[in-house]
Structure 1
Amino acid sequence: MHVTIAYVIAAALFGLGVYGVVRRRNAILALMAVELMLNAVNLVLVTADVSLRSALRGVPGEAWANPSSQPGSGGVFALFVIVLAAAEVGVGLAIILQFYRMRGAVALDEVPLDQERVSE
């Protein structure tokens, strides 16, 4: 498989994620679009790791160029992005749930960003 195919798929996924964040009114769907963008980044990280390892396989003498001496760094970065995405989903869903309890809806258009807090 050509590396270009994976990059084009990742760009399409990232574009769909950006479109979902910009156009969606529902907060949960916006979080799903952010997850789609993070998965596109994971695809780019793993693809770049595989393609660079295959390109550096013939370079002698340097420790960073020897693919067998280091674990897959793209996969490690992708794992960190997955952990970050899990934390983002947990915090994001907690915020959305609290907002739903307060307002009764999760529409992003109805979120008052400039309203001051009213003390009771």
Structure 2
Amino acid sequence: MAISWYLVVSALIFCIGAGGVLTRRNPLVILLCLELMLNAANLALVAFSRMHGNLDGQIFALTVMVVAACEVAVGLGLIVAIFRRRMPIDVDGIKELQG
């Protein structure tokens, strides 16, 4: 398969994730859309890595996956803490996190 197919799929997934981040108000959905965007970037990195015949892009994609897992853990912890304090779960309604 040509690399252009992988890049088209990667761009499509990234656009879906970006659209979800910009339009949704639920923090869980925003986290899922951020994961979509990171996975799209990983797909592009692996495709370029395979095209050039080295493992640099794959190693970087693995690093991005580790960072994404840490982001989800911190994000879910914040969401649970907000939910336990009976604060609104709506992203626009949370005033406490603003500086």
Normalising by the residue count of structure 2, what TM-score does the alignment of the two structures yield? 0.91
Where structure 1 has 5 or more consecutive residues not aligned to the other structure, the ranges are: 54-66
Residue 105 (structure 1) shift: 3.5
Moved over 3 A (4+): 113-116
Alignment-derived partner of residue 92 in structure 1: 75
Are residue 25 (structure 1) and residue 25 (structure 2) matched?
Answer: yes
Where structure 2 has 5 or more consecutive residues not aligned to the other structure, the ranges are: none
Instruction: Give the structure with higher Rg (CA).
Output: 1
Are residue 5 (structure 1) and residue 5 (structure 2) matched?
Answer: yes
- Indicate the percent of aligned positions where both proteins have the same amino acid: 39
Range with bigger deviation, 73-82 or 95-104: 95-104
Question: Which protein is richer in helix relative to its size?
Answer: 2
Cα distance in 1 between the residues matched to 2:71 and 2:97: 24
Cα distance in 2 between the residues matched to 1:4 and 1:96: 38
Residue 74 (structure 1) shift: 1.3
Alignment-derived partner of residue 111 in structure 1: 94
Give the SS at the match of 2:85.
Answer: helix
Q: How many residues align?
A: 99
Normalising by the residue count of structure 1, what TM-score does the alignment of the two structures yield? 0.76
Cα distance in 2 between the residues matched to 1:114 and 1:88: 17
Alignment-derived partner of residue 73 in structure 1: 56
Alignment-derived partner of residue 45 in structure 2: 45
Cα distance in 1 between the residues matched to 2:10 and 2:67: 19
